[in-house]
Amino acid sequence: MGRFRRRMYEEYAHEFSTDESYNIAYRKVKRIKGFYSHLKVYLIVNVIIIISNLNRGHFGYVGNHFEVRGFGDWEIYSTAFFWGIALVIHAFSVFGRDFFFGDEWEQKKIQKIMEKEAQNKNKWE
């Protein structure tokens, strides 16, 4: 923890610890920060894996013959695929089920449909 944050925390610790909404928001921010850290590590590691496997050469020696390796090789992308599934699960645990269609989206859509119906009704009068 930086000096400034530590000093701010020490000055306002009594206020923060009793405020339940602050504690909930703080935990939510920490979970979101953890997800973005997970995403950053996922991207860095998988880019390194993919580039290193592709730079190993397009020809790999297998037994008595050469095998052409390229972008279609499953071994290169399997780590990214399975880790990506875990990353999606992590995203749903952090952002919840309402990641795409939350309460705000529902309200906006209802309002938009009601306005469209009102315009159609007034059009024929």
Q: Is residue 8 part of a domain?
A: no
Inside any domain, residue 97: yes
Q: Taking 80 as the threshold, does the pLDDT of residue 99 lie above it?
A: no
Q: Rounded to whole angstroms, what are the CA distances from 104 to 26, 63, 97? A: 22, 60, 13
Average pLDDT for residues 17-41, to the nearest whole number? 86
What pLDDT shows up at residue 66? 47
Predicted confidence (pLDDT) at residue 43 exceeds the cutoff of 80:
yes
In a domain, 21, yes or no: no
Domain that holds residue 107: 31-123
Does residue 89 register a pLDDT over 70? Answer: yes
The total of structural domains in the chain comes to 1
pLDDT of residue 44: 96
6 assigned to some structural domain: no
In percent, the amount of the chain with pLDDT more than 90 equals 22
- Summary mean pLDDT of the chain: 76
